[in-house]
Every structure is written in structure tokens, then in C-alpha cells.
Chains A and B, each alone.
Chain A
Amino acid sequence: MISRMDEATTLLVALPLLLVLIEGGGRVYARLRTYLMARCVAQISNMIMTEEEPSDWAMRSLRWRYSMRIVIDSVHFVAEKIYGDALYRLALIAEVCELDRYLLEMVGCRQSVARAKLYSKLSCLPYSISVAEFAEDFVAECERGDFYAMAAVVSARPERAVKYIGRYSGELSLHEVAVLVMILRRTGTAIAYTPLLASQNRNLQLVGIYLCEHFLLADAEPHLQRLVESADVEVSYLALQALCSVRGDISTPQVGSALSNLAPHQRNAFLLRAVHNCYSLRSCAHHLTREECAIFSQRINSYKSRIVCN
């Protein structure tokens, strides 16, 4: 009996101890990582802000002072906060530290989600020469539908973005389009929206619609009216939303037929968007049901539309 009691007591003591050890270890690791990353970010920021270009030795010292993961995360952190010429200095740091080459080597060893995450990190690096050199190797992968492979390639060679997006075999989501537009904006690439909207490729159409909505391009209304009739419900819905955002004409029969194909929650979202953009009930009443008209007028008469529109 006594030996069993001893075993039970040992187990009872061991369990909380194990928990405390796991917790303590996790906390120490997290603190150490935060501290090192803060130091690394400060060092990179100093290198960027100094007037003279930092020496290769100073940049390379990041590699042996910190682990590669911390340097990559720090560069990623800084890259999100800066723009313009500072990005070129950061690209130089990434090149001297060979972050892109390291990531490319790791990509070869990983599969599935881990691989996609590495591609995501590659796409966040400022202009990367190594990725540009090997870009064509990843085109096959991006043609298979790996979005982040395509994002990495677009980030490395933004001047060929339209070509890469056109060759992408998967269907882009709105978030993926937003990521691509963010990459293009960060790299300072100018893209004409009209050829994108006139294209037959769904992904290019989505990028065009996103650009129109993001920059409120009212000139694109005829193209958007055409895309509202698209057989692809996703394209049609996003074109409808963009049309609302640019305050285009929503009383047309194209809009009516597009609305009839939408799910109830999509129609509801459209109504809310129309109220936000200060449309009157008369502008789209003939497309709506009686209940929807009541909801629409109630929304317009509430204080909300006055807050948003004024």
C-alpha cells in the first residue's frame, strides 16, 4: 500500500512540475526571441537611417549575431513599415546577408504549408536578385496554383506581374488580390487597369476590379457594368461592389440580373454597401423585394447614413 501511495504521490507531483517546466521554457524562449528581435530591428533601422551606406561587414555581422530566422523576421517587420528609397537599403541588407538564398534553399527542403510560408516570406522581402534569377524555375510551380510562389515571383520581377498573374492556374481570392496589389504598390509598379478589365482571364479581371475599387476609379464604370454580367458569380459580385464604391449607375438591367443571381447574404451586403455610398431607394428599388426596400429605406432614414455620408 505504501509503495502505491509513493507512486501516486510521485505522479501527482510530476504532473504540475511538468506543466511548470513547459510553461517556463515557453516563456523564456518567447522573451529571448522578443529581446533578440528588438535588437536586430534596431540595428537594421540604424543601418537604413544613416546617411552613408553601411559597410558589408556591418551588414554581414547580423548573420553571426542573430539566427537566420530572427534576421528574416526583422527584415520582414521593417519592410512593412518603410517605403521608397529605404527599401533599396533594406534590399541590400537582405542581399549581403543572403536571406533570399537561405529561403530558397529551405524551400527545396519543405513541403505543403511550410513551403507556402517560406514563399510568403520571400514575397515580403524587398527586391530580391536571387529570386529574380530563379524566377522562371518557380513559374511551373505558380502555374500549378501555388499562390505564394507566384507572389514571390511577382515581388522579384514586378514588371512581369501581369504575365505571371495571367499564367496562374488557380482562382485568386479577394485577399490574394489584395496581397498582389500591396506587392505592386510597394515595388512602385504602375499597371493600367483598362487592359486588366478587358481581359478574358478571371484573375486579371479581379485585379482590375480591385484596383478600381481601391483607388475609386470612376472612369472604369463602363467596364464594371460589363463585368457585372459575368457568368462567374464571384467576379460579378465584386464588380457590383466596385460599381457601388465608385458610385456608378446601379439602376441598369445588368445590375438587376446580377442581383438575382446572388445569395441572400450577398444581397444584404450589397444593400449595406449601397446605403454607405449614399444611394437613394429609387436608384435600385426595382431590383429589390418589398422587404429589402423596407430595410433599405429604414437604413437610409437611420442616423447611420447621415454619419457616413457627411
Chain B
Amino acid sequence: MQLIFILSLVWLVGAIWFVSWWHRTYRRTSLVHLLREDVGHIGVSAIVAYPETSAPLVALLEEEYPRSEAIFIADLQQQESLLSELVVRYHLVKVNHLHLTGARALYRSRRRTYRRVVVVDLPATHSLQAFDVGKAVASYDNLLYLRGESVVEPNALAYCANVVASQPSSRGLQLRSVVGADAYFERGDVANSERVVRLCADAPLAWRRGAQIFALTAMFLPSAMILSGHLLDSKIMLASAVVLIVATGLFLYVSCCVVTKKSLIARLDTVLRNFYRFMVERIATIRGSRIHDTPPCLFRVRVRNRPAHYREDSPPKRSHPSRPMP
């Protein structure tokens, strides 16, 4: 019981820390006036790692910011239907990919209107490796990382470019949102630089369809604790429940401050996910290890099993015999 109480206290301290960080940086970023035009020729490359469908790419191409680029990384040997869809829609052609370690193929669009699209066929591994490949391909040094089915919000890239322009160029920059999918934006080598500004976006950068298990757990847990505390007449249990309700209230405050059309459950779910990430990163920082040593996606590490017939040196399958790839 005492352990639960101590854990609840740690959680509450973490929640207060989290909300204070959010509030401190929110005040800075909320003053950034969104300019949808090219701000000082600052470009942003968005990297999507291992999505199931083409929806994240479509959302990125709808961005109005002129200096932006969409890098779509997927295991296209496993997802042949996705490859055929992309080839037909964007008229993809194969280009030289020898400078990319581990990539099977690199595609770009033959159409001039889609020249901001880059598609990389990479065997399914951890998303960190995909991000490294994306970095090598990227045309710009400002990178927005997205995982899975995360769909970028309208004007998110313009917003990132504006935030970059509002900070001194000599420092690294990391930008995250409290509400929304676990997308994050970086300028420079954040993992290795000493002077890094860590900011919180005042609006979500991306959204992902999810089961919202975290929010349901957050609501279920205090309820169960109240019930069991009453039944067992345990004051510690009741106190823990109160602590959890206070923490949930703080999260609600955060999520309600952000104007979005998503439901409260979805917002609460993403806030909780980002809070857990924040806590793990802070603990890792206190321990002395770098933030990037911890996996950025703690709760969704998807490594597909490679089929037995797959070999590294095997040539990529030609999915469209009728449309030869140059």
C-alpha cells in the first residue's frame, strides 16, 4: 500500500513538472505568428516511418508550406499493394540508392507536381533506423519525425519552420506537442549537442488513430481505487485515488487549452502517452544517459518477422511487370 502511495506521489510530482514545462514553453511558442509563406528559406523534411496506408503521405502533400518535403519509408516488399498504389498515384521511378545503407530501393515521382515526394523501401526494423535513413535522404536540416499512421495536422510544417526561425540558429532545437501523436521535430544533432532548446508546440503536430487505452485506464484506475478503498476502509488507497484524479485534472486542463476537434478521450490518451514519454526521458536524463538512448516509441515497437525466403542480397521484387522501372 505504501509503495502505491509513494508511486502516486512520484507520479504527481512528475505531472506537475510536466505541466509546468508545458506552460513555460507554451507561452513562448503561442506568441509565434504563423506565416504560411517561406520564412527565410527554411525548409522542413517530414519523415514517416512504416505506415500501413498512404494516408500520412497524402496529408503531408496537402501542406501549403513551400519548402517542405515528404519522405515515406516503408517495407514495400511486404506491402506490395501499397507500392502499386504509390506507383500509380505518384508515377514513381527508381533512382540511385547506393548511398543509403540498408535500403532496398529509392523512388521519386516522375511528375513535377509531386517532386517533394521521396519513397524509400527499407526492410522493417526499428523506426530509429528508418529515421537515420530518412535523415540521409532529407534535403533540409529541419526534420519532423512521424511513426506509423500518424497524420500530420494542417500547417504543422509551416508552424515548425516559424518556430525554428524564432529561435537562435546556433542552438539545437527540439519541438514536441503535449496533445497529439508522438511526433517530434528537431533541428541539428540534438542528441550530441550541448545547447538544445526544448519547446512544446501550442497545437498538436500530428494525430494517430488509436485504441485510447491509456485514457480508459486513467479513468478506470481511480474509480477502482475509490471503490476498493471504500470497501477495505483504506485511507492510503483513497489518497492515491485523489492524487490520480488531481493528475487527470491537470491533463484535462492541458488538453482543453489546445483547440482541436478531437474528442476528449483521444486528447487525454495522447496527453498520457506523451507524459509517460516525458517521464521516461527525464529519468534517463537523471541517470546520465542521453535521451536518444531510450527508444522514442516505448509502447509501440513494431518489428515484423522477416519471411524465411527473404535475404539481404536478394533483388527487390518487381511488382508491376507491365510498368518497367527504369
Contact = CB atoms under 8 A, between A and B. Distances in A.
A275 to B, nearest CB: 8
Nearest to A19: B264
B108 A174 contact: no
A213 B187 CA distance: 21
Interface string B261-288: 1011000000000000000000000000
A213 B166 contact: no
B31 A304 contact: no
Contact of A30 (B31, B33, B259): B259
Contact of A307 (B35, B115, B188, B261): B115
Interface string B28-49: 0011110101111110000000
B172 A176 contact: no
Interface in B175-221: 187-189, 193, 219
B39 A174 contact: yes
Interface string B245-268: 100000010001001010110000
Interface string A1-33: 100110110011001100100110010001000
Contacts of A266: 169-170, 188
B140 interface: yes
Interface in A136-181: 148, 173-179
A298 interface: yes
A63 interface: no
Given A11-B226, A213-B41, A298-B99, A173 B168 contact: yes
Contacts of B167: 173
B223 A12 contact: yes
Contacts, number: 124
Contact of A304 (B139, B141, B230, B245): B139
Interface stretch (A41-49, A86-94, A237-245, A283-291): A237-245
A265 B141 CA distance: 8
Interface in B1-55: 27, 30-33, 35, 37-42
A272 B226 contact: no
Given A23-B264, A173-B166, A173-B167, A12 B35 contact: no
Contact of A175 (B115, B140, B162): B162
A304 B30 CA distance: 35
A190 interface: no
A298 B136 CA distance: 10
Q: How large is the interface on B (under 10, 10 to 19, 20 to 34, 35 or more residues)?
A: 35 or more
B41 A178 contact: no
B41 A4 contact: no
Contacts of A303: 95-96, 108
B165 A173 contact: yes
A308 interface: yes
**Which of A16, A19, A213: most chain B Cβ within 10 A?**
A19
Interface in A229-265: 233-234, 237-238, 241, 245, 263-265
Contact of B99 (A120, A210, A302): A302
A62 interface: no
Contacts of B115: 307
A4 B38 CA distance: 63
A67 interface: no
Given A5-B231, A174-B42, A179-B35, 18 more contacts: A5-B230, A19-B264, A22-B264, A23-B264, A26-B264, A117-B31, A173-B165, A173-B168, A174-B166, A175-B162, A176-B166, A178-B40, A233-B170, A237-B170, A263-B193, A265-B193, A272-B139, A303-B95
User: What 3 A-B pairs have minimum CB-CB distances, sorted nearest first?
Assistant: A265-B188, A175-B165, A175-B166
